[in-house]
Every structure is written in C-alpha cells, then in structure tokens.
Chain A
C-alpha cells in the first residue's frame, strides 16, 4: 500500500472525504452569513442560534406532528426564515445607517436570548434525532465506509450553495439585489420595493442556517448550544473567504473542511485551532480575504 507521510493513502482518502463533508456545513453556514453581510451589511451573530433553531424545528415537528426529516427540510427554513423576517422588521432595519458594531451587538444579544430560552425549556444535554429511513446504512468504498447520509449532505449542500450563487450572480433577481445594495435610491426609482427585498434576503439567509440545522440534526447532538460552538469557526471561514463574497464563502467552506480533516490525522490536538491560524495568516497577507475586494 502506498503511504503518504506515514499514513496509508487509503486512510488519507477517507479523511479527505470526511473533511469535505464537514466543509459542507461550513460552506452552507458561511454562505448564509455572506449573503446577509453582502446585501444588508449586517454581521449576523444570531446565525448559530438560527442553525440551532433549524435542528430544533426538525425535532419538534417530528415529536409533536409526526412530520419526518424531508418535511422538516422544507418547513424549518420557512419557519425560521419567518422569525428572521420579524427580527429584520422589528430591529435590524433601524440599524442600516449605523456602524456595523450596532448590528453585531444586537444580533449577538439576540443569540444569547434565543439560546437561553431553548436551554431553559430543553436542558443542555440535547435531544435524540435519527437518520431518516431512506438514508440509513452506507457504502463500502474500499478505502472507507461512507454512510449514505453523509453522501447526501455533500450532494445537497453543493446544490444549495451553487443554486444560491447562481440566483445572486446570474439572474435578474440577483442583479436587482446587488444593485439595491450598491444604490438603493436609484433602484427604488425603477419601481422596486427595496426594503421588502432586503427583508426577504435576510429571511433567506436565515433559512439557509435553518437548512444546515436540519441537516445536522441526525448526526450532531441537537442541543441549545450546538450553534455556539460552530459559529465561531464559520466566522473565521467568512473572514478567510472575504466578507460578503458568495463564491468565496462556498470555496473556503469546503477547503477549510479539507484542511481541518487533514489536521485531525496528523495533529488532532490542533484541529480546533488550525482554522484560526489560517485566518491570521490570510489577514496578514490579504486583509480583505482570499476572494474579497479591497475597498
């Protein structure tokens, strides 16, 4: 068997694939953040809590309404997206003229409140959620056992990521959106309801977080604190990719998943810090991020 740096190449393939799966979550979450920052100029610290809410919606609709994973995948982004719309209407729209710091503090505070409420009702140790019937089991790829569900995670998040990129960068709707961020007054002059478009964009970004939450429910512990751990990493991903860059968020999400996966093989103790080391290096060399435009 061929080995690379003392690790059999087969083992290495397995680890790379797993890295890619984790990267899917980073990509999905950082994509939502990038959309919100790119269009609203808000640093959405509630994102982790909204991801958690997505997972909880999946659990709750199964528990109380008997609705399965697939229905949850549809309902959760809508429901959580709606709470996002309410947050935008009530609070965020008052902050667009102010410094980024205000939005950051507001969303951070909201995240703490949401997590606190869920913790109060559901405790901290988490809730059970099974892998959907259709995706149980897995494939033996020769170099590793790939659970069907993980394959689904990669596939679905790629579809969602590329779909979002396509809508924003390549369609008329996306063009309106980008134009509205650049020059809202002019776009309004063309008869487009800019505030509503912004509200829906925030709802959409939040919905993306909820999708990631539903996808995480069968494999990660569904607990009120689940978003708190991942959100910091995701912010690092967004910073590395360049704030507001859609493609940047997607590519760095997957790439950092791969790098983290490799670290878990060669030096597992550092696996939770490697992303921040990369962030520091990128900020030194390219302060606007790998895909960001210097302004």
Chain B
C-alpha cells in the first residue's frame, strides 16, 4: 500500500514536471548570462557581459514591441559540472529561455549538451573551441564572437606570410590549448611554415622561464602562445625579461584580450600581434558603446566577448519579436539563421547552418607607449580579415547538421 502511494506521488511529480517543461512561453523572455564572475576570465567577460546584455535589452526597447525581458546571471566557476547544473535549474525551474556568454571551452561544451537536450537556446561569446560548430554543433547553439580556428587563421597566416615560418608552441595543457595549437599548426603548415617543437604547460603556471628558455634554444622565429588569461600575461611578461624579442624571435599571442594588454602595460606588450573581432576605438558606434559601457564596469573598455554578448542578445531579441514566441529553442535559432544580422558593433553579418556567426575579423598590433594617447588606446589595425575568409569553411567542420 505504501509502495503504491510512492508510485502515485512519483507519477504526479513527473506529470507536473512535464507540464512545467511545456509551459515555457510565459510571456517573459528570460536571458541567463552564465560567466566566470570571480576568477581569471572575470574581467574579460563576467559582470561586463551582464552589463552588455542589459544595454542590448535597453536599446532594443522591448516594451514597444510587446515583449517583457528579464536578465539573470550566475558564476560557473570554470567548472563544467557547476555550469551544467545552473543551466538545468535555470531552464527547468526559473524558465530561462536563452543562455549567453559562457567563457571556458570545457564549460561551454557541457552547457551545449544540456541546452540541446532541453531545446533551449545557447549564444556563445566567451568560449573559443571551434568544436562548438564542428563535431559538437547543435541546432540550438550559435557561436558568436570568435573561435580557435579564426584566431589561428588570422594570426597564424599573417605571421607566416611576413616571414615567421618556424614555430615553437607553448600550450596550455587542456582542451582549449590543444585545440588552439592544433588549429594554428595546421594553418602554419598549410602556408608553408613548419612547427619545430612544442611544450605542454599545466594551467595556471606562474613561471614560464623554463619553457621560454627551451623556445629560445629551438631558434624558432615565432613563439606561439596557445594559452589565455593569466598564463598569457605571465609568459609575455617573462619573455620581455628574457630578451626574447630583442634576440630576434617574435611572440604570437594566439588569444589576447584588451584586458590582458591593459594588465601587461604597453611597455611590455608593444608589438604583439593578435586577432580580435572587436576593438572599442574602431568607429563612432563602437566608441559610443564603450562610452556607455565604461561607467557600468569599473571604467573598463568592453572586450570583444562583452561586445559579442551585446550583439548576440540584440539579434536573439529580433528573432523572438519576429516569431512572437520563445518556447521552441530550435525554431528561434532557425529564425536567427534565416534573418541577416545587423547591429552597431559587428555590422552586417549572417549565421551559418552550423551555428557559426560570420563577420569580419581584425588583425591588430599593440601600439608603442609613444603612440598611445592614454589608457585603453592600445591597438592599431594591421589588416581586416574579410568575413568570407575569417572562419573555417563550412565543409571542413564535420558538423552533422551540415552533412545531413
């Protein structure tokens, strides 16, 4: 008898759960910004991404279009299990309709699966792994700002073409570093360069001098830094100390954000070449955005990740407004792919079948201290990589959505 009661209770609970899952279109569009709020990526995404999402909602003027939009945010602590638990809770209990940002590739890959299973929407800005539009591509996911392939292609190709044809990699020993090293090595070799050697370094290493010494002895023309955040800052700082650049070798920061340059100072960072999707001082629209953004986030200028959040949320809201329904994640993403993108920060663009957002990328060089007019005046444009060449060709990604 008791057993029976339990079964009944369970059945009731399940039924309630199912009812809840179906009732997602509740009149409110709820945006969940999931980011690193407290650790190494907190400056380049974090609360700044939340601020960017808020600005996107503000500029969209949802009330005029009959929409009600709310924003929630959480810290995934760079842990895939924490991230996927938050997303489950958000979708099931809090009725969040779209997950945005998610730096750290391992967390983004985990969230990607949860969102697919729950038929929600995932707009990636912070994470880099090109697998998100490759083997792991999903009808519920759009990869907005950049990826490892685009970084490798931009920086790698430019350097090989200007004579940097022998490479030594200092690689962060986890999924992201391996992906970045793999994609860059492929670009280097495809353009006639060669990879002399590489060293895999544990994440969060404070002293790189040992690896820099190995790089020095390899006599490679380019030392490729397939790492991010504090690891990149430490390796660049110490490379300057060990006279790497003075000795005729060049550094290639494969993923460098403007906040990293700010942390290094121009004295140390000058001459560094990197690929980015956005720079605040590019045009009037980006400057206007930066001017509004800075007071919301400790006076910082927006990074490409934060700008990407703004751009992605804007396009998402347009699609939802057009559909007048946010309950079917797949349908919303399909609508997003159908509509051309257009916003003040990334200009006109498209979203490909594999979920890859297509736009121009830019090759920047860090200014010398004498060229800079003040804080955050850091980049000069070396080249614009046209949208058609900036990202991995659709056929090379092995995305199941494309082949069939």
Interface residues of A (CB under 8 A from B): 11, 14-15, 18-19, 21-22, 119, 123-131, 137-138, 144-145, 147, 149-150, 218-221, 223, 225-226, 229-230, 261, 264-265, 268-269, 271-273
Contacts and interface: CB of A to CB of B under 8 A. Distances in A.
Contact of A125 (B201, B207, B229): B229
B372 to A, nearest CB: 13
Contact of A128 (B216, B229, B268, B298): B268
Contacts of B241: 131, 138, 147, 149-150, 218-219
Interface string B32-69: 00000011111110100000000000000000000000
Given A22-B207, A145-B216, A124 B233 contact: no
A123 B41 CA distance: 10
A145 B243 CA distance: 8
Given A19-B210, A150-B209, A271-B210, 16 more contacts: A15-B210, A15-B213, A18-B209, A124-B46, A125-B43, A125-B44, A125-B230, A144-B216, A149-B241, A218-B241, A220-B207, A221-B233, A225-B39, A229-B204, A264-B211, A268-B202
A273 B173 CA distance: 13
Contact of B267 (A128, A138, A147): A128
Contacts of A127: 263
A269 B213 contact: no
A269 B201 CA distance: 6
Interface residues of B, number: 44
B52 to A, nearest CB: 16
B226 to A, nearest CB: 14
Contacts of B262: 125, 128
B213 A220 contact: no
Contacts, number: 116
A124 B42 contact: yes
A11 B214 contact: yes
B191 interface: no
Contacts of B264: 128
Given A14-B213, A265-B210, A271-B202, A221 B234 contact: yes
A273 B298 CA distance: 37
B247 interface: yes
B237 interface: yes
A86 to B, nearest CB: 26
Contacts of A125: 40, 42-44, 229-230, 233, 259-260, 262-263
Nearest to B238: A219
A18 B267 contact: no
A260 to B, nearest CB: 9
A268 B199 CA distance: 7
B200 interface: yes
A145 B212 CA distance: 11
Contact of A225 (B40, B210, B247, B263): B40
A225 B38 CA distance: 10
A230 B204 CA distance: 10
The 3 closest A-B pairs by CB, nearest first: A128-B265, A126-B263, A264-B210
Nearest to B36: A124
A265 B214 contact: yes
Given A11-B214, A123-B43, A124-B42, A223 B202 contact: no
Contacts of A229: 204, 206
Contacts of A124: 38-43, 46
A162 B39 CA distance: 36
Contact of B242 (A22, A145, A230, A269): A145
Contact of B210 (A123, A223, A261): A261
19 contacts: A14-B217, A19-B210, A22-B207, A123-B300, A124-B39, A124-B40, A124-B46, A125-B230, A125-B259, A126-B230, A128-B263, A130-B267, A145-B242, A150-B241, A219-B241, A261-B210, A265-B210, A268-B210, A271-B202
Interface in B46-94: 46
B282 interface: no
B205 interface: yes
Contacts of B234: 220-221
A102 B391 CA distance: 55
A145 B246 CA distance: 12
| Residue from A125, A230, A265 having most chain B Cβ neighbours under 10 A | A125
Contacts of B267: 128, 130
Given A125-B44, A128-B268, A221-B263, A226 B206 contact: yes
